[in-house]
Amino acid sequence: MAEVKRKRNESFEALFRRFQDKIRQSGKILQAKKIRFHAPLLNKNRRRKSAIEKSRRTNLREYLIKVGKLKEEKPTFRR
């Protein structure tokens, strides 16, 4: 973490601006933004299990729509 000490007769705004500049120069903000939504890679078995589960849910949904227990949703096109 960047550390900034207040100089004599320095306003809070000037101190805060120096702090922000130091943080910006260190690259911590950019690094945090880059890894914000990063998901770790899953191993092969976990990927396979999730694919099987997704397929099972899709098949169940299609079956329920086919037998009339679930209403078929019209696709909504949103922006």
The alpha-carbon radius of gyration of the chain (Å, integer) is: 26
- Look up the pTM and report it: 0.49
Instruction: Please state, as a whole number, how many other Cβ atoms lie within 10 Å of the Cβ of residue 64.
Output: 13
Q: Where are the domains of the chain?
A: 1-38, 41-70
Alpha carbons within 13 angstroms on the beta-carbon side of residue 72 total 7
Encoded tokens for 44? 């092969």
Cα angle value 56/59/73 (rounded, 5°)? 125
* pLDDT-based confidence at residue 10 (cuts at 50, 70, 90): very high
Query: Percentage of the chain surpassing pLDDT 70?
Result: 100
Q: What is the pLDDT of residues 37-47, one digit of tens each?
A: 888 888 999 99
